[in-house]
């Protein structure tokens, strides 16, 4: 069963006021998933049959960000335990939940292509046409996303000299000044 989504943008405040189901629908309706599916889908009729719902996988990754689910492992756990979330992401009850490896392979394919940049450009052009973006200069800010792969660099501070060292150095300077 194919789900057809109509493309239109929405106000951010309206998005926050919606129920999760409606919020997902509002966001998913703006994502042009066909170019992404062309990259991740199986190219030939030969080989093992495709049993993954790639469109639902893409939508579930988007829902993961909206729901602040930190890892793919937690996303899979939520898909297994929450049937409404599963249906909201586009999985059918008969669909198997993809493994972490399946998500990893799909993300690798997406990273190796430029399809996400093209979809983003399409979204930006649509936002400009509909009047949501008024300027020709667009900046994308992702500062709210915390890095999870490295610890922050340690900054070593110079320790101040103990008080008696300062007195000792001062006495040496005073002694040298009085000799000259």
What's residue 68's pLDDT?
87
Give the pLDDT of residue 20: 61
* pLDDT of the residue at 9: 55
Among 69, 57, 53, 58, smallest CA distance to 20 is for 69
CB-based contacts of 18, cutoff 8 Å, min separation 6: 26
- Please, are residues 106 and 57 in contact by the beta-carbon 8 Å criterion? yes
Tokens of 72: 């793919």
CB 142 within 8 A of CB 97: no
Alpha carbon distance, N-terminus to C-terminus of the chain: 97
For residue 43, give both structure tokens: 């190219």
Give pTM, 2 decimals: 0.63
Residue 23 CB-half CA count within 13 A? 17
**What pLDDT shows up at residue 35?**
92
pLDDT of residue 47: 61
Round to whole Å and give the CA distance between 118 and 120.
5
User: Block means of pLDDT (10 residues each) for the chain, length 180 residues?
Assistant: 52 58 78 90 70 91 90 95 90 91 92 90 84 73 58 66 48 48
Give residue 166's pLDDT.
Answer: 46
The domain spans of the chain are 12-129
State how far the Cα of 176 lies from the Cα of 107, in Å rounded to an integer. Answer: 70
Per-residue pLDDT at 77: 96
36/62 Cα distance (integer angstroms): 13
> What pLDDT was estimated at residue 28?
84
């Amino acid at each position: 069963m194919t789900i057809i989504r109509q493309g239109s943008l929405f106000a951010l405040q309206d998005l926050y006021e919606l129920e999760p189901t409606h919020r997902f629908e509002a966001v998913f309706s703006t994502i042009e998933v066909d170019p992404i599916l062309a990259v991740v889908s199986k190219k030939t009729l030969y080989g093992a049959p495709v049993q993954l719902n790639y469109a639902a996988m893409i939508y579930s990754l988007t829902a993961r960000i909206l729901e602040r689910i930190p890892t793919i492992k937690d996303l899979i756990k939520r898909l297994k335990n929450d049937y409404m979330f599963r249906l909201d992401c586009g999985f059918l009850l008969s669909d198997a939940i993809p493994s972490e490896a399946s998500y990893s392979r799909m993300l690798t394919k997406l990273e190796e292509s430029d399809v996400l940049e093209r979809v983003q450009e399409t979204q930006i052009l649509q936002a400009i046409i509909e009047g949501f973006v008024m300027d020709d200069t667009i900046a994308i800010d992702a500062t709210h996303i915390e890095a999870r792969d490295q610890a922050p660099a340690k900054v070593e501070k110079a320790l101040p000299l103990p008080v008696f060292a300062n007195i000792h150095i001062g006495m040496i300077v005073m002694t040298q000044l009085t000799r000259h």
